[in-house]
Amino acid sequence: MSELNNKVLMITGGTGSFGNAVLEKFLDTDLAEIRVFSRDEKKQEDMRIRYQNSKINFIIGDIRDFESINSAMFGVDYLFHAGALKQVPSCEFYPMQAVKTNIIGAENVLEAVGRNNVNKSIVLSTDKAVYPINTMGMTKAIMEKLAISKARDARVIKNNNMICITRYGNVMCSRGSVIPLFIDQISRGGPITVTHKDVMRYFMTIPEASNLVLQAGEMSSGGEVFILDMGEQVKIFDLARKLI
Active site (catalytic) residues: 128
97 secondary structure, DSSP code: H
Q: Which residues pair with 78 in a beta bridge?
A: 9, 120
Cα 205–87–182 angle (5° rounding)?
Answer: 60
Tell me, rounded to whole angstroms, the distance of Cα 72 from its chain centroid.
18
> Is 51 in contact with 23 (CB distance < 8 Å)?
yes
Backbone angles phi, psi at 100, to 5 degrees: -65, -40
Backbone angles phi, psi at 171, to 5 degrees: -95, 115
Taken in order 206, 209, 213, 216, the sign of the CA dihedral is: positive
